[in-house]
């Protein structure tokens, strides 16, 4: 151990001590929570026998409950219970009670790095962004220069790499798809829920996810969703089921108003966990770049994903390539990463034709 710093000794002790308590600070979006799963699996590999705590906002914690990877989930309700200085103090005191030894901070924000520091967690690892490594992180690394050319999954893995440079030896195992493998009881729970919602398990389901949280530039046209859904329903006697949050109910109504086929609108009517149970029964999913797209890919559901303002290289569906089709328009302004089209025409969406989408679905459906 000669020449080894106290900090490195502490890291080695945490790895070898089965009673280590690790806190993983979750990203705040459903899609990012899914893309963080390989990093959590990597933590499980390098800290064998540890207690893994997840700090997550309410709207993503169900991803981790469904995954079964963390041992404990600490809910960070920053809009209510943990709002403001008093709420932050309450959260920090709750974290302190667990005597966490190491934290991995996956979001890039100052606030995300501040919480483990306030909780006096001895080892606080994250990427060097916004100068937070100068104050709140005591182990950090710069993001790899080509991180924008890689999938976001590998960005989150690089956070674990800060403390474990040899994490690459587990990479193939922890990124194996599908990322989520529900058990037989999950399927049964989905069937029970389907019957309660008067869905028809005997028919093949085409799931639609016509919404997206980031902005209008990510949304394919409602009439195009309706066109494809009608054709799939007619061709395969499929039941059409629309998924999404309450905030996406208006988009669902716009799709339904343009459809000739009757469909089931579940927007705002299920929890995320229930939506995951039902998505598991879909024959296929047609989706924008959204959290539900990432959920579908993680469950191994065949899907066709429409990309407009965003880049599938970085945030595409992380699933079996044989089960996923990504459609994007290769025009000069794509990807712009804007919430709304800065040119006002959404040409990137207009150039993705319903005929092409239907043919992509047909190829996957008949495999």
CATH of the domain at 349: 3.40.50.2000
Q: How many domains does the chain have?
A: 2
| Helix boundaries (H) for 162-221 | 171-174, 184-196
Report the relative pairing of strands 324-328 and 21-25 from DSSP bridges.
Answer: unpaired
Residues 142 and 196 in one domain: no
Flag whether the pTM goes above 0.85. yes
Residues 98 and 76 in one domain: yes
Decide which of 134, 149, 174 is a domain's last residue: 174
Cα gap 251→244, rounded to integer Å: 9
As given in the structure block, the two tokens for residue 245 are 């949050």
Residues 191 and 144 in one domain: no
Does residue 7 lie within any of the structural domains?
A: no
Residues 28 and 147 in one domain: yes
Longest dimension (CA), the chain: 75
Does residue 179 lie within any of the structural domains?
A: no
Decide which of 174, 195, 230 is a domain's last residue: 174
Does residue 269 lie within any of the structural domains?
A: yes
Residues 160 and 189 in one domain: no
For residue 2, the model assigns a pLDDT of: 42
Is the omega angle on the peptide bond into residue 335 within 30 degrees of 0, that is, cis? yes
Does residue 6 lie within any of the structural domains?
A: no
For residue 11, the model assigns a pLDDT of: 52
Residues 170 and 188 in one domain: no
Does residue 224 lie within any of the structural domains?
A: yes
Q: Domain span at residue 58?
A: 14-174
Residues 25 and 63 in one domain: yes
Residues 162 and 74 in one domain: yes
For residue 367, the model assigns a pLDDT of: 87
Does residue 334 lie within any of the structural domains?
A: yes
Residues 59 and 155 in one domain: yes
182 Cβ neighbours under 8 A, 6+ residues apart = 66, 280, 299
Cα gap 238→228, rounded to integer Å: 12
Does residue 238 lie within any of the structural domains?
A: yes
Decide which of 139, 156, 174 is a domain's last residue: 174
Query: Which positions of the chain have pLDDT values less than 50?
Result: 1-4, 6, 9, 13, 15-16, 18
Q: Which residues pair with 74 in a beta bridge?
A: 55
Does residue 76 lie within any of the structural domains?
A: yes
Cα gap 101→103, rounded to integer Å: 7
Residues 335 and 225 in one domain: yes
Residues 125 and 249 in one domain: no
For residue 8, the model assigns a pLDDT of: 54
H/E stretch holding 84 reads: helix 84-97
Residues 218 and 330 in one domain: yes
């Amino acid at each position: 151990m000669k020449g080894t710093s106290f900090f490195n000794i502490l890291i080695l002790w945490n790895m070898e001590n089965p009673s280590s308590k690790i806190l993983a600070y979750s990203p705040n979006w459903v899609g990012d929570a899914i893309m963080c799963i390989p990093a959590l699996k990597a933590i499980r590999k390098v800290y064998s026998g540890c207690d893994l705590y997840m700090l997550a906002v309410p709207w993503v914690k169900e991803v981790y409950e469904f995954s079964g990877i963390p041992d404990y989930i600490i809910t960070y309700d920053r809009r209510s219970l943990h709002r403001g200085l008093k709420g932050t103090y309450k959260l920090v005191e709750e974290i302190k009670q667990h005597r966490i030894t190491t934290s991995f901070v996956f979001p890039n924000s100052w606030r995300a790095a501040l919480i483990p520091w306030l909780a006096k967690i001895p080892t606080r690892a994250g990427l060097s962004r916004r100068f937070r490594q100068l104050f709140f992180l005591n182990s950090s690394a710069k993001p790899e220069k080509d991180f924008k050319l890689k999938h976001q999954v590998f960005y989150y893995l690089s956070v674990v790499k800060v403390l474990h440079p040899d994490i690459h030896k587990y990479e193939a195992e922890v990124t194996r798809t599908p990322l989520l493998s529900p058990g037989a009881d999950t399927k049964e729970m989905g069937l029970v829920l389907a019957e309660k919602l008067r869905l028809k398990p005997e028919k093949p389901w085409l799931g639609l996810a016509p919404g997206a949280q980031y902005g209008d530039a990510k949304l394919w046209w409602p009439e195009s969703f309706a066109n494809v859904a009608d054709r799939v329903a007619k061709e395969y006697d499929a039941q059409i089921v629309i998924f999404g949050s309450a905030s996406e109910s208006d988009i669902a109504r716009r799709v339904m108003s343009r459809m000739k086929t009757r469909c089931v609108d579940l927007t705002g009517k299920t929890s995320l966990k229930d939506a995951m149970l039902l998505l598991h029964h879909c024959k296929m999913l047609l989706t924008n770049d959204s959290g539900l797209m990432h959920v579908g890919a993680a469950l191994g559901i065949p899907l066709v994903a429409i990309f407009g303002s965003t880049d599938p290289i970085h945030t595409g569906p992380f699933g079996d390539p044989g089960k996923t089709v990504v459609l994007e328009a290769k025009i000069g302004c794509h990807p712009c990463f804007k919430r709304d089209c800065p040119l006002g025409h959404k040409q990137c969406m207009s150039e993705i034709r319903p005929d092409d989408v239907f043919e992509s679905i047909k190829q996957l459906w008949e495999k």
